[in-house]
Amino acid sequence: MRELTDRQKAIATFISSYIKENNYAPSVRDIADHFQFSVKAAHDHLKALEAKQVIKTTGGISRSIEVIGEEFFPREELIQVPVLGSIAAGAPLMSEENTDFMLNIPATMLRTTKNTYFALKIRGESMVEDGIYDGDIAIIRKCDVAERGDIVAASIGDDQPGITLKGYYPGKGSVELRPANASMGPIITRSCKIHGKLHLLIRNYQ
């Protein structure tokens, strides 16, 4: 690794500390605000750090900074999991087009490698009786089958690209996707694609 300037060392240290504290990387704006310089200057510093193999980034994905320089690497091993936003019709589920940002999860909280997990930000109150609230981030372990009663991330039909998180109750010729909210009714469908099962939840109490 080539020698860093004092400013580059400070930025690399900030990125590492931010990831350790928040479990996701800072945005370019976060870095600019912290050091009180322009967003363009932040971009330039990140390019320099990437050229010196201190960090790596994924183009087009917010908060995708990953620390790879040993001097600045967070001591606890972290695995990057993509947080999916609106699911684009026709795009592969794990494509960059569907990824809002990358979330860093301690490896001890995941069973296997990062390629078997993705995350969804919960919107709405359909699962509150199972302790899943609006704004939570659900970590999903990828799979295409589930047991009755599992909480699954599923899509309905080919013309509805969104993913819903519900209880899975298969029946004869149809599947019931059951909310955990007595005020809401289930989704009954003959066309259900399972993308994964709920593995853990992350909640910010601030």
CB-based contact 192:177 (threshold 8 Å): yes
Q: Are 99 and 43 a contacting pair, CB within 8 Å? A: no
Beta strands in 95-156 (DSSP E): 99-106, 117-121, 137-142, 151-156
Active site residue 126: yes
Dihedrals phi, psi of 170, to nearest 5 degrees: -75, 145
Please name which of 44, 6, 41, 11 lies closest in space to residue 26, comparing C-alpha atoms: 11
Catalytic residue flag (residue 166): yes
- Residues facing 166 on adjacent strands: 152
Q: Which of 126, 174, 183, 191 is catalytic?
A: 126
Residue of 16, 64, 155, 166 marked active site: 166
Burial 14-32 (b: 16+ CB within 10 A, else e): bbbebbbeebbbbbbebbb
Task: List active site positions.
Answer: 126, 166
